[in-house]
A and B are shown apart, each in its own frame.
Chain A
Amino acid sequence: MQASSQADHQLKIYSLSEQGVTIEFGQAISEDLLQLITNFHQLVNQNPFPGFYTAVPAYTTLSVFFDPVKVIQSRELPGEDCFEKVSGYILRLKATLKNTLASQGNTITIPVCYGGKFGPDIDEVASIHNLAVDEVIRLHSSAEYKVYMIGFVPGFAYMGGLNDLLATPRKATPRSAVPAGAVGIAGKQTGVYPLKTPGGWQIIGQTPVKMFDATRPQPSLLKAGDRVVFKSIDLPEFNLLAAK
């Protein structure tokens, strides 16, 4: 990232609730903004203010949540009310953000068994784009994706980087149940369902990997800023990994 691009960003700070403040870093999705938000998220975690609970990154925002009683009682945070105290802190902390690549995120490979019973919509996706099924698999598994944010359900990653050739509208009628691990396409997005939920994405495969596991120290496999690569596996390998 260019050193100047961070300094160019103007912050907008707004109150989300009595217990939350949102910092808006820009208006459009970009990898630069993702890097900036990821860096700032890390900086806030390393420098928590009194009463700070947690921060939630999204496409263009980072929201911080806190205990208003602790914030208002804090003498080290100047301001008339919690919003002033927290936004003042955020602005001062932002001024210390180094123009360096602090966090590169991890690259995570997700094995996917494409098509067949795991990818009921892959034929539809292929025919919409006039592609062979193998070509759909090749295009989907040869790109590197960026995780912009986690939301919707625990461990669900909003990823960018889908090849335009695969962009496909959602299904006209959502399924009442999509299995955990289902890999789907919706518009220009691709993603993996961490839990069995209703869903309208075009399902092209399934991973045996647990995208979310409440017993892990980091329950969500992915976090904002990570890179993802999908690797095509066959059914025996799927079964082998699923049995682990």
Chain B
Amino acid sequence: MNIRILKPGLLSTLQDMGRRYFLSQGVPLSGSMDTLSARVANKAVGNDDDAAVIEFTYADAQFKAETDLLIAYAGDGAKLIAGEQKLPAERPLFIPAGSIIELINNSAGSHTYLSIAGGWDVPEILGSKSTYITAAFGGLEGRPFRAGDVLNSADPLTELSAKILESLGGAQISYPEWSIPRQLLLPSERKNIRVMRGPEFTWFESTSIVDFFSTPYTLSRQSNRMGYHLEGAVIRRTKTDELLSTAVTPGTIQVAGGGSMVLLMADCQTTGGYPRIAQVAAVDLPLCGQLKPGDSINFKGISRQDAEKLYLEGEQHLHKLSIAIKNRYL
């Protein structure tokens, strides 16, 4: 199966669940900004969660099915259409060769993930297919897509993917009744981001801590896959010691000089020297992955224990969804 990119969109790259084993050499984790949507898109076509997906940023991208396709998409950056026909998210889609698929506006978020049965076929670099543009490796030649790029699916299909394809195949676009209800895996209040206390939480003025938890923060235009610069009440320090650089990770909120905050995201540095006021709960990080400049968020406290419990419950839920899909076809 393969597609040809007709319009690449603002920033389209290949991503998987990230590059986990080279952090000590300064290689960022990378991977999908909204891992939940990426995993849902993979599950819907019978892939493993870690298969490479296309991460589209906003809409205005277009591609052509050069062969019959089994694809799925999830996320809040765009909706997919084929001509006049709307294509539903979060379920497998059979697309016959020759179809032209367009991403159209969905103002809810920023990123949309497109999976294909078998996963997108690019070489693994340092154990991952994720694109890391800064060092120009991973994904498709270490770069965002351009018009004319052709992307192939990898072989072979999982048994599940083959069964899903068999159940849908034909001459027309088709999809099943079922879908993976991603919304049920997300909190209802999507602009409240739950955070744990960071290691340097006690370095800040108590009035700043009150501001942190009670006033909104807005993503500035200086926001990208490395991190989001947050505009809002200034965070003042009581302890002015220099922090010796130490490991940071996606979801870490650093307080830079001048008291402004940066929320680190997928392509963030592996180490940092700014004090860390908070760490976003892993279950809420996919919500952060859908934010865009101008969006405002509020931080709500959560204990380490509760954050871990929610994470493990979420993983359990995702595991059950995979089994439910398998039970339909195998």
Contact = CB atoms under 8 A, between A and B. Distances in A.
Among A18, A41, A197: residue with most chain B CB under 10 A: A18
A95 interface: no
Interface in B248-293: 248-249, 251-252, 269-272, 279, 281-282
A162 interface: no
B308 A58 contact: no
Contacts of A214: 125-126, 135, 137-138
Interface in A56-87: 56-61, 63, 65, 68-69, 72, 81-83
B247 A224 contact: no
Given A56-B271, A58-B271, A219 B22 contact: yes
Interface residues of A, number: 46
B251 to A, nearest CB: 6
Contact of B24 (A18, A19, A82, A223): A223
B96 to A, nearest CB: 38
Contacts of B304: 15, 83
Given A16-B247, A69-B312, A81-B305, A57 B25 contact: no
B307 A18 contact: yes
A65 B25 contact: no
Contacts of B25: 150, 154-155, 212, 218-220, 223
B196 interface: yes
Interface residues of B, number: 40
B271 A153 contact: no
B329 interface: no
A72 B314 CA distance: 14
Interface in B190-216: 196, 199
B246 interface: yes
Given A53-B21, A65-B23, A153 B199 contact: no
B65 to A, nearest CB: 32
Contact of B245 (A68, A82, A151): A151
Interface in B119-176: 125-126, 134-135, 137-138
Contact of A154 (B26, B252, B281, B309): B26
A55 B281 contact: no
A156 B125 CA distance: 19
User: Chain B binding site: helix, strand, loop or mixed by DSSP?
Assistant: mixed
A115 interface: no
A17 interface: yes
B315 A69 contact: yes
Contact of A16 (B199, B244, B307): B199
A14 to B, nearest CB: 5
Interface in A193-232: 194-195, 197, 212, 214, 218-220, 223-224
B249 A154 contact: no
Contacts of A54: 20-24
B245 A65 contact: no
A212 B136 CA distance: 12
B104 interface: no
A149 B135 contact: no
B269 A151 contact: yes
B27 interface: yes
B135 A154 contact: yes
A39 interface: no
B196 A15 contact: yes
A17 B269 contact: no
A20 interface: yes
B27 A63 contact: no
A214 B315 CA distance: 32
B247 A18 contact: no
B245 A17 contact: no
Contact of B279 (A17, A83, A197): A17
Interface string B70-107: 00000000000000000000000000000000000000
A29 interface: yes
Contacts of B125: 214
Contacts of B269: 151-153
B247 A58 contact: yes
Contacts of B21: 53-54
Contact of B135 (A18, A29, A57, A212): A212
A168 interface: no
Contacts of A53: 20-21
Given A16-B247, A151-B270, 14 more contacts: A15-B196, A16-B249, A17-B196, A17-B251, A19-B282, A22-B247, A57-B24, A63-B246, A69-B312, A82-B308, A151-B245, A155-B26, A212-B135, A220-B25
11 contacts: A15-B304, A17-B196, A17-B251, A18-B307, A54-B23, A60-B244, A151-B26, A153-B135, A197-B134, A219-B25, A224-B24
Interface of B: 20-28, 125-126, 134-135, 137-138, 196, 199, 244-249, 251-252, 269-272, 279, 281-282, 304-305, 307-309, 311-312, 315
What are the 8 closest A-B residue pairs judged by CB atoms, nearest first? A151-B271, A63-B247, A220-B25, A59-B244, A214-B137, A58-B246, A150-B26, A18-B282
